[in-house]
Every structure is written in C-alpha cells, then in structure tokens.
C-alpha cells in the first residue's frame, strides 16, 4: 500500500482521534443500516436521447464474526422497495424474493470487502439495479492511523481521506471525514474498431462514532461511458448515483432492533 500524509499546518486545531479507526466485532456483531440509492442515467445515441431514473431503499441487517485480522460479515435485507422509470414504462418489482437472502464476505479492519456469497437476485430486481454488489456500498476505506483536522491520507487505490471538523449529537461526538476518488479512465477495445472509455469520479463524507463505528456515509458517484470509432462518438452514457447510508441501531442475532 502506498501511503502519503499531507499536512496543512494552518488548519490543525486540537481535534485528534484517540487511535486509528477500524471495523470492530463489538460494533458489527449486529447492526442495522438504512440504505438509499438514487441513480439518473442519460444516454445519447446520435440525435436520440434516453433518460432513466432508478431508486431503491431498504434496511440492511449486518452481523459479523471474528476471523484472524478481519471480520466475517453476513448481511440481508429486512425491507426493500425499488423502482425504475424508463421512457416506455415504470418497473416496480416485487422485492420479496431478495428479502432475507444472505450476502457473506470478509471485511478487513480498514474497510476492504471481499464477497464470498451472494443471494439469488430475482430477474425483476436485476432489471432495476445490480443488487449483487450491495455490501460493497457500506464500507468507506479507513486511514491506518489517527488524523487531526485538515490532515489527509492517500490510499493505494486513488482514495484520499481528509479529516473534517467534528460534529455533535445527543449520543456524543461524531468524527467527520471527506473521501474523494481521483478521476480515472479505462479504455476497452470492442469489435468493429470501436473503443469504449469509462471515466468515474466519486466524493462523499462519512461520520464515525468512537463507540459505535460507522454512523453515516453520503457519497456521489459520477460515471461516463463513451463509445467511439476513431474521432466519432457513437454512444455516450452518463450516470450520477447518490448513495446515503445511515446506521439505525444495533440489534439482536435475529436482526431485531434494540
């Protein structure tokens, strides 16, 4: 991992984390999160334009167990609703086939998630969103050491995490961190001399509670796919995705809130 620290001496007040952030069993033994995703998609093919909108929201229950230096994580939807608006129709699939289905994977203390099991995704829901990757939405990458306000950490995947000023709520202090993902572009060769180029940028803010772990994470993801033949653009698709995650409460082993 390539790690760099960027200091800004003019903006370093006394707010210092007591230790590194990490995902811990004591917090994730059982927790519930409200998750909402809104995506707008615009496609241009010649003079034709197509606009679509995808929205879904639900409650995700997460349980965890220890595994060496990581956590074995299970997650499932306790509730879910989804809709996709297209020029020709509005899709509102029945979510019952996914509710209760298990996701499973390994989560490192720093926030790297590796999927091991995915539930069956009914075809109706698959037309709305790629629900196979839902657990990947939950875990912001964490810096390896404490940061003071104004200090940044750069990870090995173009992530930059910067400490913001703290905020307070009834339950205590929330540490706030800004995340940005540097723009990157990846061209792919296609048949008939076509080249597809994908560009993606991302930014957001997450809040962390020292005795409760991840409190919330709001992020905005912009992506663009352009298909060209030589200097001529054949197809362009732009998508903007807004993801909001909010911890609701902790729960018992059955996923019930408490």
Which structure tokens are listed for 88? 């020709």
* Count of Cβ atoms closer than 10 Å to residue 167 Cβ: 11
Residue 211's SS3 state is: coil
Residue 122 domain-assigned (yes or no): yes
pTM recorded for the entire structure: 0.82
Pairwise CA distance, residues 196 & 225, whole Å: 7
Query: Shortest CA distance to 124 belongs to which of 185, 160, 80?
Result: 80
Residue 255 domain-assigned (yes or no): no
Residue 258 domain-assigned (yes or no): no
Residue 97 domain-assigned (yes or no): yes
Pairwise CA distance, residues 85 & 128, whole Å: 9
Residue 67 domain-assigned (yes or no): yes
Residue keyed to tokens 């879904």: 56
Report the number of distinct structural domains present in the chain. 1
Instruction: Give the max Cα distance, the chain.
Output: 61
Residue 183 domain-assigned (yes or no): yes
If 0-12 CB within 10 Å is exposed, 13-18 middle and 19+ buried, where does residue 46 land?
exposed
Pairwise CA distance, residues 235 & 246, whole Å: 36
Taking 3-state DSSP, the helix, strand and coil percentages for the chain, each rounded to the nearest 5, stand at 10, 60, 30
Angle at 140 between CA 129 and CA 102, to 5 degrees: 50
Residue 228's SS3 state is: strand
Instruction: Give how far Cα 224 sits from Cα of 13, 107, 185, 227, 239, Å.
Output: 39, 29, 9, 10, 6
Domain that holds residue 168: 4-250
From first to last of its 258 residues, the chain has per-residue pLDDT tens of: 333 333 333 343 445 557 789 999 888 889 999 999 999 999 887 778 889 999 999 999 999 998 778 999 999 999 999 999 999 899 999 999 999 999 999 999 999 999 999 999 999 999 999 999 999 999 999 999 999 999 999 987 788 999 999 998 876 899 999 999 877 677 777 777 678 888 888 999 999 998 889 999 999 999 888 887 777 767 888 999 999 999 998 665 555 555
Residue 223 domain-assigned (yes or no): yes
pLDDT of res. 187: 75
Residue 73 domain-assigned (yes or no): yes
């Amino acid at each position: 991992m390539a790690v760099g620290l960027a200091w800004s001496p003019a903006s370093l007040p006394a707010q210092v984390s007591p230790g590194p952030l990490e995902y811990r069993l004591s917090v994730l033994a059982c927790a519930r999160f409200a998750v909402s995703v809104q995506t707008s998609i615009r496609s241009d093919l010649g003079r034709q334009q197509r606009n679509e909108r995808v929205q879904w929201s639900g409650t995700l229950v997460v349980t965890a167990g220890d595994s060496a230096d990581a956590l074995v994580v299970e997650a499932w939807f306790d509730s879910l609703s989804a809709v996709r608006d297209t020029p020709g129709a509005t899709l509102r699939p029945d979510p019952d086939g996914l509710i209760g289905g298990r996701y499973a994977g390994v989560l490192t203390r720093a926030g790297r998630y590796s999927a091991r099991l995915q539930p069956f995704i009914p075809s109706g829901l698959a037309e709305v969103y790629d629900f196979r990757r839902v657990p990947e939405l939950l875990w912001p990458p964490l810096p390896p050491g404490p940061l003071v306000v104004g200090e940044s950490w750069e990870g090995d995947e173009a992530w930059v995490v910067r400490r913001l000023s703290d905020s307070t709520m009834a339950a205590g202090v929330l540490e706030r961190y800004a995340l940005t993902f540097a723009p990157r572009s990846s061209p792919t060769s296609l048949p008939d001399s076509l080249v597809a180029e994908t560009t993606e940028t991302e930014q957001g803010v997450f809040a962390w509670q020292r005795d409760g772990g991840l409190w919330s994470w709001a992020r905005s993801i912009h992506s663009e796919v352009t298909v060209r033949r030589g200097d001529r653009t054949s197809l362009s698709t732009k998508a903007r995705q807004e993801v909001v995650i909010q911890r609701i409460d902790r729960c018992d082993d059955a996923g019930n809130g408490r």
